[in-house]
């Protein structure tokens, strides 16, 4: 008979229930992780508010959560080199390892990826707003002495790090980020840690602009400021070297084409809420602009941990509120409030290192 | 008193006159080239039909022409290493050499570029539909034993070569080109010479599709074929590795987002006739597509000549009609006919190697 | 009771016996391939002549052979998408899929690789000079309509393709290859197919130089020619853009530093027979030369097959002699003769598509 | 009649005289810079101690010095956009702008470069241990509000920045630098500013190791420590990602091949005092190591200034001693003492912003 654990289960839009739920089974190649901290991401909010996340519609109730830090609790017999008790951040994406994309080192493009806490598979895959989660051994990345609040920030930092790496950011770059949410701020911090000499965040919310300044960005902008288009022209080469669109707003993406320099790069990281967007393709040609996308992350979890451990990036300062698992519904509501929240987390285990 | 030469001068839309015109002066750092062959490009046609080329409106009559091959006829006293009598292809773009773009090896982005046969400067800069043209010594690229018909194809080949180089084309790439005009065909030939294993040209004109097949592309497509979107899905990784948009049609650019594979690259080479274009930016993110522009050419003229001399690319087969300079207006009319013309050239000197 | 098959088994230096041998077992994730053709590589010759291959000393008799083409004969129950009867080239290297190198797309650097026909593991891993070989499903690459003589050339072509890809070969490159054996010739062919405008092979053997010319290289050189150092100076930028060392001779590697241009690249592909080599490190700095190594191959088998199928590379012309499996010892002797042999293969199955 | 200024002139080994010297002439395209601070580099020491710098033997007495900061004092009539009074760091290398290397953005490989304070030209080119120096306008890089002590550090920082850029340093890199002199320390600082997560300096001098620790490197090593080869093996991927050889010692370069990981990169920055060096070329192949050189700098002066102005790199802390111009000989002697000196500078103008 299966043991039961507590878990936050999505039943429908607005209906998340913290309840008893079957513990996951331990199958070959896998480990069980006892979750300590779990962060809330935009896709968790989409599932909570809309009952789905874009095209991903769940076919049965499932456990949310994919920003996870915890302790290895059980290890399948065929797993080497990962001991019970190891403190780990979890990569929630399990790629197939065998397709052309996996073989070429672009695992985030693998079409057979199984993602924790997501309805991208049928049936949906249970996530980690729960006491235990089952993952393949190589999804576990050693935290060393980092605490679990930081450990649960490694997944969003991996999103930021992948985006910055995709950008092929030049040395001494001038960087603009549209969107001052957690991903935008993490991109700003990462860009600075990787040598950007000017990092500017643009966001319509005064509160988010204040937060960005307090977290060390060089300057902030209001995208509705009519003088904004002049900004690029004042830079040494006529605009920003690299811009990251992390807001999901089509108007933000459109605006970036006027703000990057000739030969500059725009990286789309945010999930756009609409379909096609009007973009100045003639500028793409005449100014040799590059627009490229960044989706999740490749194999950057160990790098993200190393950046934090070496003190190059301070992610702890972005954790703004923590709720117990039993209050998951309140936590989801709080996470949706852009005014007060940066990153909301659930504290799941009662004993912080159990 | 200035000597006179014959030249094809644009006065207004539809009004090109072959007339006596002052020979260019020889100033420090410069050489005079006696033009032998000159090709007709889309921008020449824009000037001829519209009296302007997009935002470039001439402030006085000027000589058209920038696809030039000829013989060095005079050399300023301070020029070393380029002798009278040298047979050369001409790079019509003279960058400033000193700005950040020039110093970084991206001279095509130099904002102080002076372009032959163009109203991008004020006053416009005379081009090479004339017996003599003045260029800086480093704009001359030795042809060796190539003939001038081929020499006048080096400039459009440079456009194609720059685009293929910008694409960062992977080994054994599958490549789609929209637009079967001279630039599209040159990109197809160049991509094949650089190791593409499948090269497909898409063009609505049956005549152009036939021409493409006759010039060695692997396959052709009609963009209005409703089955076209299935094409990408049949390829090994779910689409083309690289696509080049060389038609200038917004619908062609839009279509390419459905035809490239995840992680694929789209290169905008054609001049788009309209402003903003509706593009699927959410695909850019979720499928990590790269859209980038290619503008003119960097320092690729010697490479283009080497590709032709080594037999890797056969550009001579694209020269479809030749007119004498005195018939420049008829030549411009013929060049505008997509049914019959690939590349139309003017034969300018009476003695082929004078 | 295990079924028996015929196989060429290495017992000691000079002692290869074609004998009955246990058929390999079919375990989860694996397939059995009925080998049709198998090529002989330098490492097979090392095992045959020396009883070992450098540091790889076999701990028991084992089956040689890793350049393999065949037909899928059996498929484990958990394998999808690969049917019995599929004609395939075999990638003899099975990486772990999980280490940092595998995850980053550099599987050839995986330290847990299991290599067919090699004593790099303990005990050694049986290879494919036999009627059947067991491989993981993703080691099989579909040949389409290519014949098996070509199929058994895909592995050495993958070595060449990986080397050319590692080189980051510029467009319109001038390329020098030292060593006119099979790998050197395959690099020459591949470099040409990828847009090199001048491909030169240097080899002390007049026979190999003749072979190279007959296979389409642009020029050949004798490395002992005292005028050779002048060669680079005659090239446009003062030397070759890229040089590949495919002979394993330390003197050849040393010579290349004088023959590449400033900023040029040298790729070490050949296995050097000795330890440290005297190299001009001060030139590395003052002329910004890059020396890099190329080891086996990453995920390039499908690309290699595509290059052959599209006609860009003709590998069939390099197969110079074919022996039946029963004459494996004579075949190994013949393969060691540089004067007459390019690539020697074994025909293993009696029915060419059984 | 030419005006005279004070300058430190090299006559022979050990013979530097501070004397009256003709002021440089102002020719077209050029400016005169009133030098404020000038740093002493290894090549100045070579000229001072040996009378030459490797193969560069002066044909007449000349002014040393090429690490220069100053104020624009005069501007030729044809120079735009650079006003008298502008505070600038000087790029001492003037490339030809026209050769293939200049056009491709690799100006440091231009063979017609004119270098201040160097006998690489015949006659030698006067440098900046003097009140005035003549340079082309584009050799001047605006300092903004940085002081001249920092301004004279921009040239060595450019050496470091170019080396780090050549390395193509991966994100979150682990970096080893051999040689704790000014260039080694600047590389360490720059690597850290560009996102390296572990920066280790190896130097046999205990004083230099202390200095490195005080300047913020993560760890130091003694290259003669017999346990050093174990160091790489303890790192996550089996060694350092990138190593910079900045000592000029052949043994240091040799050692790095055992300390970088498979697929790692070694950058030779230091000037090697001897000819050929024994290097493990077989490791280059089997472990896919890249060895590449870094020579001077490309167009990185503005980037270097931006890194300093943004606070990412603190170069002021490396200036250890300052002498007046009249004491240039003592300053050269002090600069040669590795125990006490990091960077020795000359204060040239009496008024710090004249």
For B268-281, write each residue's pLDDT tens digit: 999 887 779 999 99
Q: How far is CA A177 from CA A171, A234, C167, C212, D224, in A?
A: 17, 17, 35, 55, 47
pLDDT at A352: 54
Tally Cβ neighbours within 10 Å of residue D192: 23
Q: Taking the domains of chain C in order of start, what are their residue ranges? A: 4-152+314-347, 161-293
Identify which of A88, A75, A92 has the alpha carbon closest to the alpha carbon of residue A141: A88
Residue C70 pLDDT more than 90? yes
**Mutation for testing the A interface, residue in B246, B264, B266, B293 having most A CBs under 10 Å:** B293
CATH level 2 (architecture), domain C4-152+314-347: Alpha-Beta Complex (3.90)
Per the CB < 8 Å rule, is D198 touching A310? yes
The Cα C316–Cα C305 span in angstroms is 12
pTM of the model: 0.96
pLDDT category at C350 given cuts 50, 70, 90 is confident
CB contact under 8 A, D105 and B106: yes
Q: How confident is the model at residue B295 (pLDDT cuts 50, 70, 90)?
A: very high
pLDDT at B352: 54
Residues of A in contact with B292 (CB under 8 A): 284, 288-292
Confidence band for C339, pLDDT divided at 50, 70 and 90 = low
User: d(Cα A167, Cα D157) in Å, to the nearest integer?
Assistant: 25
Map tokens 């053709």 to a residue: C37
How far apart, in Å, are the Cα atoms of C168 and each of B107, B169, C173, C241, C344?
22, 11, 10, 10, 30
Peptide bond into C325 cis (omega under 30): no
- Residue A298's pLDDT is 85
What per-residue confidence (pLDDT) applies to D1? 63
Place of tokens 């190594």: C293
User: At A315, is the secondary structure helix, strand, or coil?
Assistant: coil
For residue B198, the chain C residues in CB contact (below 8 A) are 306, 310
Q: Which residues on chain D are in Cβ contact (under 8 Å) with A194?
A: 171, 194-195
Q: pLDDT value at position A353?
A: 52
Q: Does residue A314 register a pLDDT over 90?
A: yes
pLDDT of residue B351: 64
User: Are the Cβ atoms of A306 and D172 closer than 8 angstroms?
Assistant: yes
Q: Are C66 and C116 in contact (CB under 8 A)?
A: yes
pLDDT, tens only, C262-312: 999 999 999 887 779 999 999 999 999 999 999 999 889 999 999 999 999
Query: Between chains, do C293 and D284 touch, taking CB under 8 Å as contact?
Result: yes
Specify whether the CB–CB gap between C89 and C108 falls below 8 A: no
Nearest-Cα distance to chain D for A306, in Å, is 6
Q: Do D181 and D338 contact (CB within 8 A), yes or no?
A: yes
D76 C-beta neighbours (distance < 10 Å), count: 16
Residue D338 has pLDDT above 90, yes or no: no
Q: Which of A141, A165, A164, A163 is nearest to A153 (CA)?
A: A141
d(CA A103, nearest CA chain C) in Å: 6
pLDDT digits (tens, 9 = 90+) for C3-60: 999 999 999 999 999 999 999 999 999 999 999 999 999 999 999 999 999 889 999 9
Of the residues A76, A93, A95, A102, the best mutation for testing chain C's interface (the one with the most C CB atoms within 10 Å of its CB) is: A102
The Cα–Cα gap between D292 and D265 comes to: 8
Instruction: Write the residue in C262, C283, C288 that is nearest to D294 by C-beta.
Output: C288
- To the nearest whole Å, the CA of B297 is away from the closest chain D CA by 12
Work out the average pLDDT over B234-242: 89
CATH class, range D161-293: alpha beta
CA–CA–CA angle C185, C191, C196 (5° rounding)? 130
From the list A281, A283, A290, which residue is nearest B290 (CB)? A290
pLDDT at residue C168 in the model: 93
Q: Hey, what are D200's tokens? A: 């280790």
Question: Which candidate, A275, A323, A306, A352, places its Cα nearest to that of A142?
Answer: A306
Write the burial class of residue A59 (CB in 10 Å: 0-12 exposed, 13-18 middle, 19+ buried). exposed
Helical residues (DSSP H) of A30-72, grouped into ranges: 42-50
Cβ-defined contact of C304 to B172 (cutoff 8 Å): yes
Interface of C to A at Cβ within 8 Å reads 97-98, 100, 102-107, 137-138, 298-299, 302
Residue D8 vs residue D97, higher pLDDT: D8
Q: How far is A81 from chain C (nearest CA, A)?
A: 12
Interface partners of chain A (CB pairs < 8 Å, 3 or more) are: B, C, D
Residue pair C240/C263 in contact (Cβ under 8 Å)? The answer is no
Mean pLDDT across A168-186: 95
Cβ–Cβ under 8 Å, residues C125 and C68: no
D147 burial via Cβ count (<10 Å: 0-12, 13-18, 19+): middle
pLDDT higher at D161 or D234: D161
- pLDDT at res. A231: 72
Q: What is the pLDDT of residue D70?
A: 98
D123 upstream amide cis, omega within 30 of 0: yes
> Bigger pLDDT: B230 or A240?
A240
The tally of CA atoms less than 13 A away on the side-chain side of residue B38 is: 31
- Say how far apart CA D101 and CA C288 lie, in whole Å: 12
Structure-token pair, residue C37:
């053709």
Render pLDDT for A70-124 as a digit per residue (tens, 0 to 9). Answer: 999 999 999 999 999 999 999 999 999 888 999 999 999 999 999 999 999 999 9
Residue A354, pLDDT above cutoff 50? no
How far apart CA B6 and CA C148 sit, in angstroms, is 65
Across C191-209, b (16+ Cβ under 10 Å) vs e yields bbbbbbbbbbbbbbeeebb
Dist CA D110 CA D295 (whole Å): 11
Touching subunits for chain C (3+ Cβ pairs under 8 A):
A, B, D
Q: Which pair of tokens denotes residue A94?
A: 């399990």
Of the candidates A205, A196, A149, the residue with the CA atom closest to the CA atom of residue A37: A149
Average per-residue pLDDT in chain D? 93
d(CA B235, CA B263): 14
Residues composing chain A: 354
Tokens 């440290």 sit at which residue?
Answer: C276
For residue C334, the model assigns a pLDDT of 92
Contact criterion met (CB < 8 Å) for D103 and B103: no
C133 versus D271: the higher-pLDDT residue is C133
**C171, C194, C312: residue with CB nearest B165:** C171
pLDDT in tens, D244-296: 999 999 999 999 999 999 999 999 999 887 779 999 999 999 999 999 999 99
Reply yes or no on whether the pLDDT at D215 is more than 60: yes
Q: In this structure, are residues C211 and C180 in contact, taking their beta carbons and an 8 Å threshold? A: yes
pLDDT band at D236 (very low <50, low <70, confident <90, very high): confident
List chain A residues with CB under 8 Å of B263.
Answer: 101, 106, 109
The CA-atom distances, in angstroms, between B48 and each of A292, B118, B152, C149 are 37, 12, 20, 58
The pLDDT mean for chain C works out to 94
Distance CA D336, CA D342 (A): 10
Span A13-26, mean pLDDT?
97
* Residue B353 confidence (pLDDT) above 80: no
């Amino acid at each position: 008979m299966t043991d039961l654990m507590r878990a936050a289960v999505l039943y429908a839009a607005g209906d998340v229930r913290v309840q008893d739920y079957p513990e996951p089974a331990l199958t070959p190649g896998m480990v069980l992780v006892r979750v300590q901290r779990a962060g809330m991401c935009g896709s968790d909010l989409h599932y909570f508010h809309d009952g789905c996340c874009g095209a991903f519609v769940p076919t049965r109730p499932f456990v949310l959560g994919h920003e996870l830090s915890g302790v290895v609790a059980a290890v399948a017999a065929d797993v080497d080199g990962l001991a019970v008790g190891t403190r780990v951040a979890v990569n929630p994406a399990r790629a197939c390892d065998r397709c052309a994309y996996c073989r070429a080192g672009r695992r985030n493009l693998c079409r057979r990826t199984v993602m924790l806490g997501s309805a991208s598979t049928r049936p949906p895959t249970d996530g980690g707003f729960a006491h235990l989660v089952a993952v393949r051994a190589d999804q576990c990345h050693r935290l060393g002495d980092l605490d679990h609040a930081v450990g649960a920030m490694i997944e969003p930092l991996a999103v930021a790090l992948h985006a910055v790496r995709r950008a092929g950011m030049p040395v001494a770059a001038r960087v603009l980020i549209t969107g001052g949410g957690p991903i935008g701020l993490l991109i700003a911090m990462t860009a600075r840690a990787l040598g950007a000499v000017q990092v500017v965040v643009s966001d319509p919310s005064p509160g988010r602009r204040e937060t960005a300044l307090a977290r060390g960005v060089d300057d902030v902008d209001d995208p509705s400021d009519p003088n904004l288009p002049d900004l690029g022209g004042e830079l040494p080469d006529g605009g920003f070297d690299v811009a990251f669109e992390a807001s999901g707003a089509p108007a933000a993406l459109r605006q970036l084409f006027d703000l990057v320099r000739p030969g500059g790069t725009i990286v789309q990281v945010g999930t756009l809420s609409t379909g096609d967007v009007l973009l100045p393709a003639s500028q793409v040609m005449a100014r040799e602009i590059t627009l490229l996308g960044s989706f999740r992350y490749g194999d950057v979890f160990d790098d993200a941990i190393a950046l934090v451990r070496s003190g190059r990036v301070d992610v702890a300062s972005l954790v703004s509120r923590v709720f117990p698992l039993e209050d998951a519904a309140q936590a989801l509501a709080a996470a949706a409030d852009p005014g007060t929240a940066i990153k909301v987390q659930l504290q799941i285990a009662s004993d912080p290192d159990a």
